[in-house]
Amino acid sequence: MDSVTKERILRYSVAVFSTIIATILRMELDPWIGDRVPFGTYLLSVLLTASIAGTGPAIASLFLGILAATIYILPQTQGTYFAAPGDLLALGIYAIVGAATISLFYSTTRQNRVRCKQLEQIEILTAELKIADRRKDEFLALLAHELRNPLAPIRNGLLLLQQEEMDIKEHKSVVKTMSRQLTQLVNIVDDLLDVSRFVHGKIRLELKHIDLRDLVEFALCQAKTAMEERHHHVQILLPASKVIVNGDRNRITQIITNLLTNSAKYTPREGRIQVILEKNADDATIKVVDNGIGISKEMQQHIFELFTRSDVAVQRDQGGLGLGLPIARQFALMHGGRLNVVSNGTDQGSRFEFSIPLVKEVQVKGLKIESDSSSGLFPKLPAPEEAPVEFYDQKVLIVDDNVDAAQTMSSLLSFYNFDTAICHDGFEALRMAETQHPGIILLDIGMPGMDGYELARRLRQEYGETPLTMIAVTGWGDESDKQKSREAGIDHHLVKPVDPDKLTDLMRKASTVSKNA
């Protein structure tokens, strides 16, 4: 007999015993109370059973009380077991009152259960909110730390650049350091924006058939600086034939680059890192293997959660917000793939595996092994062709309420031989467009008075068929912002900080189109 059956028998035994006791008690009290309250003790039995054993036994107690009262309490008439009509009416009233009592008790008990469950949920939510609040405070402190880290060398570099005695070699070194730290700042902001897009479901993939080998090589180029700074020994194993997948080139590159930079960061100097691309029957797997600080068994369960950093990484003062791996796994899942980690524990190294479905038509013919060297650690991207110096006669109008941003953009474009003018609000931009007739307008979106969308609409209305290229250069980068730009008549939407080569390439194409028009 199982425990459930035993518990049920025990509960219904309470109904039987309480009815027996009620019957005995009623018969003992009969000399004092006579026919008054004939079913009072049975009603008490029902209440007692309901409070001890629950609703089901209470119903059983009610029916047992009716049966016992009919046999032992109610006087029989003419030697039969049928009581007088008045007694039967009293019995019926007892049954109704008992049923109402059980119903009321059941309703009250249920409400109490619901209330208790709600209280438990409130306690759980309160505890979770406290944890979330603590993690928020920890994250803000960590974010401040991670932002200050690159800001410090940028500020120091600016002070050094103001020194007149600096030689060319030192000048180049400072600029290179500032550029590297600025890239780190941009990566932090991009990670935060990606998290926000994931939370609000705004991530969209641009799927194309791409060769995974090219993305591995490009990611290796992006991680090259981090690898070389720590003098890691890198081994690369790539298939000889194409590995075609259906994916978003930028997002897959982001996944691989994140895994590579993680290995570089958490592997001691002169460590070993392997990058292996394997082709299986249905999918391709990229493995990044290192002999770094490793990951404990407990931490492996949480390593892909937001804002999570291992205790070893914190103790060894390794930077990071704990966003890279969660973002990488989300992108892997969006591609129908997987991202997993394997590690034997602290100081035992780690292996990250990213798998993505293959486009089945391509066949693998063999593997090619590439070794690192000091002169060429990774494959290099082809260098861009040197363009002849060319001056552009089209006027470029820069519209930005941030004076420093507008001025630095103007100075930068002057190095690319563009003739620029500056203004700082939409109304001034309309006046300058009327007098100077620019062919290209770079406009910010979030300006006071008249925002970039409204400015673009007015310019399109006033200039109609006149060739005019408008490029939004803004900090607003969601897909909804880009859609608003298209609806306002803006040709291109670039997010700050803008890649100068990409911007100038768009401007050169705009100038070429204008000349041919």
pLDDT at 392: 57
Contacts of 106 (CB under 8 A, 6+ apart): 50, 55
For 226, the 3-state DSSP assignment is helix
Residues 441, 429 contacting (CB under 8 angstroms): yes
Count of C-beta atoms within a 10 Å radius of residue 401? 16
Structural tokens at position 514: 């204008």
Strands (E), 291-366: 338-342, 350-357
Residues 73-81: contacts with CB under 8 Å, at least 24 apart: 73/23, 73/26, 73/27, 73/38, 73/39, 74/38
Strands 469-474 and 440-443, how do they pair? parallel
For residues 358 and 154, give the distance between their C-alpha atoms in angstroms, rounded to a whole number.
43
Give average pLDDT by consecutive 10-residue segment, the chain, 517 residues: 80 86 81 68 82 83 81 58 63 79 81 88 90 75 69 77 78 82 80 74 83 92 84 91 90 91 88 92 92 86 72 50 81 92 88 91 42 36 42 79 83 84 92 91 88 92 84 84 91 86 86 58
Domain residue limits, the chain: 3-119, 147-199, 208-371, 392-516
* pTM, rounded to two decimals: 0.52
Question: Residue 411, exposed/middle/buried by CB under 10 A (0-12, 13-18, 19+)?
Answer: exposed
For residues 409 and 416, give the distance between their C-alpha atoms in angstroms, rounded to a whole number.
11
208-371 CATH, one of 1.10.150.120, 3.30.565.10, 3.30.420.310, 3.40.50.300? 3.30.565.10
Contacts of 4 (CB under 8 A, 6+ apart): none
For residues 17 and 470, give the distance between their C-alpha atoms in angstroms, rounded to a whole number.
90
Contacts of 62 (CB under 8 A, 6+ apart): 42, 46, 95, 98, 99, 102
Q: What Cα–Cα distance (Å) separates residue 142 from each residue in 59, 81, 190? A: 62, 85, 16
CA 347 to chain centre: 29
147-199 CATH, one of 1.10.287, 2.30.130, 1.25.40, 3.30.1540? 1.10.287
Residues 341, 297 contacting (CB under 8 angstroms): no
Strands 350-357 and 283-290, how do they pair? antiparallel
Helix (H) or strand (E) holding 91, with range, is: helix 85-161
Helix (H) or strand (E) holding 368, with range, is: strand 367-371
* φ and ψ of 386, to 5 deg: -70, 120
What angle is formed at CA 451 by the lines to CA 446 and CA 452, rounded to 5 degrees?
A: 85
For residues 306 and 297, give the distance between their C-alpha atoms in angstroms, rounded to a whole number.
18
What are 357's strand-pairing partners? 283
Is the CATH code 3.40.50.2300 the one for domain 392-516? Answer: yes
For residues 350 and 366, give the distance between their C-alpha atoms in angstroms, rounded to a whole number.
26
* φ and ψ of 117, to 5 deg: -65, -40
For residues 7 and 4, give the distance between their C-alpha atoms in angstroms, rounded to a whole number.
5
Residues 311, 272 contacting (CB under 8 angstroms): no
For residues 84 and 76, give the distance between their C-alpha atoms in angstroms, rounded to a whole number.
7
What are 277's strand-pairing partners? 286
For residues 376 and 263, give the distance between their C-alpha atoms in angstroms, rounded to a whole number.
19
What's the residue count for the chain? 517
Written as one string, the DSSP assignment of 100-160 is: HHHHHHHHHHHHHHHHHHHHHHHHHHHHHHHHHHHHHHHHHHHHHHHHHHHHHHHHHHHHH
- What is the rounded (10 degree) CA torsion for 78, 81, 83, 88? -160
Cis peptide before 382 (omega within 30 of 0): no
For residues 264 and 277, give the distance between their C-alpha atoms in angstroms, rounded to a whole number.
18
Helix (H) or strand (E) holding 285, with range, is: strand 283-290
Structural tokens at position 140: 């803000």
CA 412 to chain centre: 36
Amino acid at 457: R
CA atoms within 13 A on the CB side of 128: 6
Q: What Cα–Cα distance (Å) separates residue 223 from each residue in 47, 323, 377? A: 75, 17, 11
Count H helices and E strands in the chain, helices first.
16, 13
